């Protein structure tokens, strides 16, 4: 009897799951640090506006609107609109690295043209770029997260702390690390902005370029 050839079956992994580079903890940490940095930069140098954490803009928009300060309310409304536009574009493109490159272009343009363009254009450029990145990178390993805020990430850390699965402890640690990196980015951004002003954007630009380099295996696939 002729023996039937058996095609090799893929062997299921019993160890740790291999994640795509863009879902690594290092990438999430770098992007979260960038988010914190950009918020500190725009708050200190562009009239108390947040570039990426839109919750703050919504709060001040409501306060200014109720107090009749319409011009100041518009100051918070425009970055919201730019963020929504950037996020919508990123969701449609479904190309994280292309969107990250778009954020880098926005930040470089802002840094080079900082003293030649109105502050509102600067804010719009940063918010648009931050949205491209935030809407494109929303998963670290197997957990959802956001690079532009800490509230949701803290809640996810608490959820993992009471979960019963074997990766719960790691999930808690990853979420807390992402929050810590956002805080670190804000602290670094506050210091660097006071010293270097617009040239301080070199740091988030370098961080984003590092993420592109870390994700280079995907670029070759």
Average pLDDT over residues 137-146: 96
For the chain, the average pLDDT equals: 89
For residue 63, being part of any structural domain is answered with yes
The Cα 154–Cα 183 span in angstroms is 12
The domain spanning residue 27 has which CATH number? 1.20.1250
On the question of pLDDT at 208 being above 70, the answer is yes
Angle between helix axes 25-45 and 202-214 (nearest 10 degrees) is 160
What pLDDT is recorded for position 68? Answer: 87
- DSSP characters over 90-152: HHHH--HHHHHHHHHHHHHHHHHHTTTS-HHHHHHHHHHHHHHHHHH--EETTEE--SS-SHH
Average pLDDT of 117-128? 94
Question: Which pTM does this prediction carry?
Answer: 0.87
Q: State pLDDT tens for residues 33-86.
A: 999 999 999 999 988 899 888 999 999 999 998 988 888 888 899 999 999 999
Please tell me the total count of domains within the chain: 1
With respect to residue 14, please indicate whether it lies within any of the assigned structural domains: no
Whether the pLDDT of residue 194 is over 70: the answer is yes
As a whole number of angstroms, the distance between CA 183 and CA 160 comes to: 21
6-33 core/surface letters (b: 16 or more CB in 10 A; e: else) = eeeeeeeeeeeeeeebbbbbebbbbbbb
List, as one string, the DSSP characters of 33-62.
Answer: HHHHHHHHHHHHHTTS--SS-HHHHHHHHH
**Residue 1: inside a domain, yes or no?**
no
Q: What is the rounded distance in angstroms from the CA atom of residue 121 to the CA atom of residue 125?
A: 6
Residue owning tokens 């574009």? 89
Give, as one character, the DSSP assignment of residue 15.
S
Mean pLDDT value of segment 16-38 = 89
* 13 domain-assigned: no
Q: According to the model, what pLDDT value does residue 8 have?
A: 41
Identify whether 53 is part of a domain. Answer: yes
Q: Residue 3: its pLDDT value, please?
A: 42
State the Cα torsion 70-76-77-82 to the nearest 10°.
Answer: 150
Question: Which structural domain, as residue segments, surrounds residue 157?
Answer: 22-216
Q: What is the pLDDT of residue 195?
A: 94
């Amino acid at each position: 009897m002729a023996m039937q050839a058996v095609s090799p079956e893929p062997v299921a992994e019993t160890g740790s799951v291999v994640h795509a580079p863009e879902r690594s903890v290092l990438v999430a940490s770098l992007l979260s640090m960038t988010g914190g940095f950009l918020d500190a930069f725009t708050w200190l140098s562009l009239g108390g506006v947040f570039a990426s954490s839109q919750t703050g803009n919504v709060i001040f928009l409501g306060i200014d609107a109720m107090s009749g300060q319409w011009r100041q309310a518009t100051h918070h409304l425009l970055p919201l609109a730019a963020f929504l536009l950037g996020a919508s574009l990123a969701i449609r493109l479904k190309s994280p690295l292309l969107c990250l490159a778009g954020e880098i272009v926005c930040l470089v343009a802002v840094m080079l043209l900082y003293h030649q363009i109105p502050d509102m254009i600067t804010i719009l450029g940063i918010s648009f770029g931050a949205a491209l990145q935030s809407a494109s990178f929303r998963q670290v390993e197997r957990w959802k997260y956001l690079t532009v805020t800490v509230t949701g990430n803290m809640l996810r850390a608490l959820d993992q702390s009471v979960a019963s699965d074997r990766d719960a402890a790691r999930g808690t640690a990853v979420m807390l690390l992402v929050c810590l990196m956002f805080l670190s980015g804000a602290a670094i951004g506050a210091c660097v902005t006071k010293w270097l002003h617009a040239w301080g954007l070199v740091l988030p630009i370098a961080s984003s370029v590092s993420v592109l380099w870390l994700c280079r295996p995907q670029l070759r696939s």
